[in-house]
Amino acid sequence: MKGLLLALILSLAAGTAAAQSGKRNEGKLKAQNMSREERQRMREDMRGVYRDRGGRPAEKQRQMSPEEREKLRRDLEDANRDLRRGRP
């Protein structure tokens, strides 16, 4: 009886593992099925994104005033207190 149960559990585990490996390969198959034009268009789109992003300097964070820091601290404490109590 124990042997039958063990065989059943092992077969279920093996089936689940086989199903997961099939999903993992879907992304690779989609990439292989892209046409040359689609790949080229995707490359150009990504170049444009990086080009646009690279031209702008990063925005500097401004210093918070003591009042803003205190308000932020109180808001965080209130939110944490509400989470502990279970209120959204």
At 88, which helix (H) or strand (E)? none
Specify the pLDDT at position 54: 66
Specify the pLDDT at position 4: 75
Nearest to 88 by CA among 74, 79, 72: 79
- The pTM assigned to this predicted structure is 0.32
pLDDT tens per residue across all 88 residues of the chain: 777 777 778 787 777 666 666 555 555 666 677 888 999 998 888 888 777 766 665 567 788 899 999 999 999 999 999 988 886 6
At 8, which helix (H) or strand (E)? helix 2-24
DSSP letter (8 states) at residue 86: T
Please tell me the distance from the alpha carbon of residue 75 to that of residue 58, in angstroms, as a whole number.
28
Sign, CA torsion 36/38/41/43 = negative
